[in-house]
Structure 1
């Protein structure tokens, strides 16, 4: 059949042997754990629970599951099957399958580079908190520190109302530790100030750990994930059990899942559900394509896709119970409504949750467990991101990076260069830079734009039927017909509608809902956003302009699979070699008979 794996034998050409010489996962479990480590990240803990609470509790699962079925699973399968079929990373896989949409790979690579630079900043923060957990008194549990102000108050149930009356705009010690000790935040982005050398050392340590996780390529990544993924779930279960045994935990769970059917009429709820799917499953940036490229050709990627999606969403829901049971305890201790302590993003992990843990018995132990889990969650995603950058670069410049020594040198340069680019985000105004890159450079708008091109590229340009045949060639059967309908109709239409709504409902970025960025800050943010998505339409125009023939001939040529053409040429060459070999054998036989 077309696209079938070519068997290695004495007739194989050098080109074919080189094509089949790609590294593979030593075991199926390594691939499975690697993908779990990549998709199960901080978004499962600091984003999903808050969105669920904010957007109608249990009702939020309706739009969430809708986007999961119509966009998440189809795109996850698309990327996984693409990498396994082409056995290449993002850029080369699209070039091999459909050169016209090769820009998808470049757009994803730009976003991955942004992610590699900013995501590890979170790991540096987690390491800093991890080291602080060894203190006799947790520094964010007390106002008796040099960085605390006169408005700092340690709220408790008995003295809450009095504290609020005495001090207007009172702040918690956890908030002041975050703002004045960790970030040492300035008044705005135009006041970068000095570098926090302690955070710079934490960032350096994070990059060193990341380097050694990736330095042997897929071989070392496959071994590291056994520990990191297993330990993450152990820590999550420990924190869940501990949270459920606390007073007030029941109230937290009720707030987390309390259904509000009226929220389904709010378009923003559906927007939040869609963007959460793209964030949580790391879609549209080539991660799944690269990781699956190390699979065996006959691996059942369809079943893997279903199992991994169920596991990821299940982890998000489980994390919500762990988070809100603890927040319920915090609200109980302070006598506050839970909606005054629930937050999303870094505020949940670095302000609210640590403060809640500081109220428990043995707070140092639970703090250590929390930030070790946070670090490992981020580490998995981070070193997978670096591995994807390495794999993409290796595929693009295979003729220059054949020796392992050169690969390790390239990895070292990537780590050093990324570390230096991350240092400005550890200055007094660094959090503003971090937020701009995160909000615009790695935004849902970019993901939606790429998703539209991906689904149209496979569903209409390359052809959903042809891609279904390619999948059947690998796994022996067709996926469900619904998947094909999603690629061709449902996914692109839903993504286009969501993309339009995101532009219509656009709200300018603010830090902590108070600081308004200067105009040049917003311009810089949109440049980050456009730097990735502009690759797709520009690349299509570039390839159409430089191709030969009429416009129709150029279009049809660029829609043809280079991979299939290459395999057909190899087969022709193999058939010629076989014919020549049989001809020589016949001559020898004739001479012998004579």
Structure 2
């Protein structure tokens, strides 16, 4: 008997928990600001409706129809497509190894917040004192300040996964997601009451309509939607495979998509209100303090917290606690993809699969907890996202729409169980719009990165050496693909083949 969600709300909270991650808080606000401010919401909404939600519907339907992890679902759809599912699983595996380390940083900083342990030089503290940064290409020793919270992160994640879908993942997300929303609402309310918050919000929302005439802005919108919704990670296929037979997949996809976007908007308000406060304190324009990614979370925000007029320790703790909650809900979903994939492929129990898959990921994550871990993390994250997640997404949608011609059967299945019927727009989005946009994104990424290999002026990504980029970037992305192909050649366990995990009509 296949595991199932206890309630529809449990599934939606888990799907939203997977979609809402670190990128919503530290990637979206800066992306929107740099691509037209308030005007960016036009291409963003268009991308959500023409790529984000259609892809969510497709993956929800695949998981629900074929009742398996991504590899098993693709295998049941067409045996020749199994490697796509495994490729996505191994991309998720790689991401889990370093994503866990960033959550560990956030745990440390939530404690540092109470006495502003980072001092006046927040950048120097992050690199020199906390991470004990060393040059690219060198591992150095394990950093105890990262190792201890990393152990906590994996203990929570693997503990939740051991308990299963209903008693573990669902209960965890019922706690994490409401807590995350409440905490971030508190952050936003406090941030918008700070001096200078209005200037920050004006910078965030002020529309630059000229920007949206640029193709790059539209590509940025599609990229943001694609990376923030956990599409092509094998997550949504796995999660939807635990849905009861009578489940409204279309409605669930709309709720998940708009919930994720709503949180991104909330994050933008909180972040830019705080940036406006920081700019007013420093007497500089808002654009001079705008940052994204690690720099925003672990350099700029500690500076903001230090300038707080009152209860700075509490505000700092809440901000980093929100990162921890967003990160944990996503890490649990990412790890579930390979836990279920290994369990079904080899016919082993969930406990053994968690111990093997999760244990191996936890062990590999130790290399990011070294003095040279930040450089490896930076390169691996860039290449596995761009040439892993995005490329898997392109291959997945092209294979299903163009080669396997599965859009009609999937549409019929979704329409048979959903209140919102899928019309021609869904096929046009997945068969034409999404492949064109993702195809252009991949072409441009390959062009830029391959040109850098021969351009002595620009050099490699972030100026890393050829050897480092190959070993920590290209090779990491390549290994995920090769591992996916190898695993697809291994025979399925007979127990998995004989299990009646889905109706005969779905075959």
TM-score clears 0.5: yes
TM-score, reference length from structure 2: 0.91
- Unpaired segments ≥5 residues, structure 1: 1-20, 143-172, 402-406, 547-561, 571-594
What does residue 229 of structure 1 align with?
Answer: 177
1:303 correspondence with 2:251: yes
Correspondent of 1:38 among 18, 30, 34: 18
What does residue 273 of structure 1 align with?
Answer: 221
Render the CA deviation track for 1:266-306: whole Å, top value 9, x for unaligned.
33323322221121001112100000111011100001111
What does residue 190 of structure 1 align with?
Answer: 137
What does residue 488 of structure 1 align with?
Answer: 431
Correspondent of 1:467 among 391, 398, 410: 410
| C-alpha distance in 1 between matches for 2:356 and 2:297 | 31
Quick check: 1:248–1:331 contact (8 Å CA) kept in 2? Answer: yes
| C-alpha distance in 2 between matches for 1:215 and 1:536 | 24
Correspondent of 2:321 among 345, 348, 372: 372
Q: How does 1:22-171 map to 2 (within 5 A)?
A: 22-135=2-115, 138-142=116-120
What does residue 496 of structure 2 align with?
Answer: none
Q: Which has the larger radius of gyration?
A: 1
What does residue 591 of structure 1 align with?
Answer: none
Quick check: 2:63–2:70 contact (8 Å CA) kept in 1? Answer: yes
CA separation of 1:477 and 1:318: change in aligned 2, threshold 3 A: closer
TM-score, reference length from structure 1: 0.78
Q: Pairwise CA RMSD of aligned residues?
A: 2.7
2:140 aligned counterpart, secondary structure: coil
1:283 aligned counterpart, secondary structure: coil
CA separation of 1:362 and 1:302: change in aligned 2, threshold 3 A: same
What does residue 318 of structure 1 align with?
Answer: 266
| C-alpha distance in 1 between matches for 2:351 and 2:192 | 46
- Deviation, 1:534, is 5.7
1:567 correspondence with 2:498: no
| C-alpha distance in 1 between matches for 2:314 and 2:341 | 41
| C-alpha distance in 1 between matches for 2:33 and 2:282 | 20
Correspondent of 2:351 among 408, 422, 431: 408
Quick check: 1:104–1:535 contact (8 Å CA) kept in 2? Answer: no
2:307 aligned counterpart, secondary structure: coil
What does residue 158 of structure 1 align with?
Answer: none
| C-alpha distance in 2 between matches for 1:373 and 1:321 | 15
- Deviation, 1:566, is 8.2
CA separation of 1:34 and 1:539: change in aligned 2, threshold 3 A: closer
- Deviation, 1:564, is 12
1:346 correspondence with 2:294: yes
Deviating runs (4+, > 4 A) in structure 1? 507-511, 533-540, 562-566
| C-alpha distance in 1 between matches for 2:151 and 2:487 | 36
1:456 correspondence with 2:398: yes
2:114 aligned counterpart, secondary structure: coil
- Unpaired segments ≥5 residues, structure 2: 492-498
| C-alpha distance in 2 between matches for 1:332 and 1:520 | 44
Quick check: 1:243–1:325 contact (8 Å CA) kept in 2? Answer: yes
Render the CA deviation track for 1:180-215: whole Å, top value 9, x for unaligned.
1221111x2223222211211111111111122221
Question: How many residue pairs are counted as aligned between the two chains?
Answer: 491
Which structure carries more helix by proportion? 2
| C-alpha distance in 2 between matches for 1:249 and 1:182 | 30
- Deviation, 1:517, is 1.1
Render the CA deviation track for 1:499-533: whole Å, top value 9, x for unaligned.
2122233475999x996211111222112223334
2:429 aligned counterpart, secondary structure: helix
